[in-house]
Amino acid sequence: MVGYAFMGAAHSQGWRTVGRVFDLPVQPVLSAVCGRDGGAVRAAADRLGWAAAETDWRALIARDDVDIVDICTPGDSHAEIAVAALEAGKHVLCEKPLANTVEEAEAMAEAAERARARGQVAMVGFNYRRVPALALARRMIVEGRLGALRHVRLTYLQDWLVDASFPLTWRLRKDRAGSGALGDLGAHIVDLAQYLVGEPVAGVSALTETFVRERPVLEGASSGLTAAGGSRLGTVTVDDAAVFTGRFPSGALASFEATRFAAGRKNALRLELNGSEGSLAFDLERLNELSFHDHTEPAASSGFRRILVTEPDHPYVDAWWPPGHGLGYEHTFVHQARDLLHAIGTGARPEPSFADGLSVQRVLAAVEESAAKNSVYTPVPA
* pLDDT tens for each residue of 201-222: 999 999 999 999 999 998 766 6
Supply the pLDDT for residue 222.
Answer: 61
Q: What's the whole-number mean pLDDT along residues 173-188?
A: 97
Whether pLDDT at 65 is above 60: yes
Q: Are 280 and 141 in contact (CB under 8 A)?
A: yes
Contacts of 114 (CB under 8 A, 6+ apart): 86
Supply the pLDDT for residue 231.
Answer: 73
Mean pLDDT for the chain overall: 96
**CA-CA distance, 267 to 10, in Å (whole number)?**
15
Q: How confident is the model at residue 46 (pLDDT cuts 50, 70, 90)?
A: very high
Sign of the torsion angle spanned by Cα atoms 345, 130, 325, 291: negative
Supply the pLDDT for residue 329.
Answer: 98
Contacts of 36 (CB under 8 A, 6+ apart): 55
* pLDDT tens for each residue of 75-111: 999 999 999 999 999 999 999 999 999 999 999 999 9
Supply the pLDDT for residue 229.
Answer: 66
Supply the pLDDT for residue 279.
Answer: 98
Supply the pLDDT for residue 220.
Answer: 66
Closest listed residue to residue 205, CA positions, set 254, 168, 241? 254
Q: What's the whole-number mean pLDDT along residues 39-49?
A: 98
DSSP character string of 272-337: EEEESSEEEEEEGGGTTEEEEEETTS-TTT---EEEE--STTSTTGGGSPSTT----TTHHHHHHH
Supply the pLDDT for residue 47.
Answer: 98
DSSP character string of 111-145: HHHHHHTTT--EEEE-GGGGSHHHHHHHHHHHTTT
- Of the chain, the end-to-end C-alpha distance in Å amounts to 32
Q: How confident is the model at residue 227 (pLDDT cuts 50, 70, 90)?
A: low
Closest listed residue to residue 282, CA positions, set 296, 268, 295? 268
Collapse the DSSP code of 182 into the 3-class scheme (helix H, G, I; strand E, B; otherwise coil) and give the result. helix
Supply the pLDDT for residue 230.
Answer: 66
pTM of the model: 0.96
**CA-CA distance, 80 to 237, in Å (whole number)?**
22
Supply the pLDDT for residue 224.
Answer: 59
Measured between alpha carbons, how far is residue 371 from residues 243, 247, 367, 378 in Å? 9, 16, 6, 9
